[in-house]
Amino acid sequence: MFIGNKLLQFEQVSSTNDIAWQYAGDEGSNGLVVIADEQLAGRGRRGDAWLSPPGSALYLSMLLHPDVSCRHPVMLTIWAGLGVCSMIERTLSIKPQLKWPNDVFIDGKKVCGILVEQRLDWFVVGVGLNLAIPPQHFQAAGIHHAVSLQEFTDLPLNHLEVFDHLKTEWIQLYTELISGNHSRLLELWQEYSGLLGKAVQLEASGKVWFGLIRHLNWDTIVLEVDGNQTSFQPQAVTKLQIIT
């Protein structure tokens, strides 16, 4: 499997996504992974900056030129997030939550963010996984809902070892993705998101909806509102949150 066959490591970069993009178009770089100790201009979704202090997190980008059937940002985002969730559960016996669209939470706090970028039929999947960022860093940056994995385990967390575990999960799940048999991936999505059957607030096309999630896959999210079912295209859904 090609994912991670080529690994580029840096001490300091602007953004690992930017480095990965330099190799787009080169078929031999399909599956290239870029890892850095520190990012000076790490970016998150909606143009936000991504806090990237040195030596305390996994900053990773993966360049993909997927088969036509998998050139789907939502699918790739969920695939990457599920890989992170199952890696955390398998290695640390902690059950994370996959929050829409691409955040991994533990105990109500964000431990990982995923940024999928697309240019033509190439994708860069950027993953920022907080391993041991001191809480003061988050506070100083005004980030109040973030946490590091180290807070949940006494095991030492080395970013390259964590990547190795992640790679194993991603490869397994990618094999299922390209096989076209998505039943286990969709089950995992339901399991880690906890969305199916739940009362949610959903935002799409500038409107807010309240209802029950009745169906969840890459192409359609079905919401039941007052007994009527409405379908949404996942890429149009900007917010999907369980109401507690």
**Is position 16 an interface residue for ligand BTN (rule: CB under 6 A)?**
yes
Among 3, 4, 17, 167, binds ligand BTN (CB under 6 A): 17
Q: How far apart, in whole angstroms, are the C-alpha atoms of residue 16 and residue 127?
A: 9
Supply 139's token pair.
């506070």
150-189 binders of ligand BTN (CB under 6 A): none
Among all chains, which residue has been given the structure tokens 């094999």?
175
123-152 binders of ligand BTN (CB under 6 A): 126-128
**Is position 211 an interface residue for ligand BTN (rule: CB under 6 A)?**
no
CB of residue 59 vs ligand BTN: minimum separation in angstroms? 4
Assess contact for 173 and 192: CB atoms under 8 A.
Answer: no
- The residue with its CB nearest to ligand BTN is 113
| DSSP-derived 3-state class of residue 228 | strand
CB of residue 62 vs ligand BTN: minimum separation in angstroms? 10
25 to 64: interface string for ligand BTN, x by CB under 6 A: --------------x--xxxx--x-x--------xxx---
81-120 binders of ligand BTN (CB under 6 A): 103, 113-115
| DSSP-derived 3-state class of residue 90 | helix
CB of residue 152 vs ligand BTN: minimum separation in angstroms? 19
Cα 89–Cα 107–Cα 165 angle in degrees, nearest 5? 25
Count residues contacting ligand BTN (CB under 6 A)? Answer: 20
Instruction: State the DSSP H helix or E strand holding residue 89, giving kind and residue range, or none if neither.
Output: helix 73-92
| DSSP-derived 3-state class of residue 187 | helix
| Residue whose C-alpha is closest to residue 127's, from 185, 88, 93, 177 | 88
Return the DSSP state at 29.
G
If the CB atoms of residues 99 and 182 are measured against ligand BTN, the closer one turns out to be 99
What is the rounded radius of gyration, in angstroms, for the C-alpha atoms of the chain?
18
Q: How far is CA 143 from the centre of its chain?
A: 19
59 to 78: interface string for ligand BTN, x by CB under 6 A: xxx-----------------
Q: How far apart, in whole angstroms, are the C-alpha atoms of residue 146 and residue 159?
A: 18
CB of residue 127 vs ligand BTN: minimum separation in angstroms? 6
Q: In sequence order, what are the beta bridge partners of 49?
A: 43
Binding-site ranges for ligand BTN (CB under 6 A): 15-17, 39, 42-45, 48, 50, 59-61, 103, 113-115, 126-128
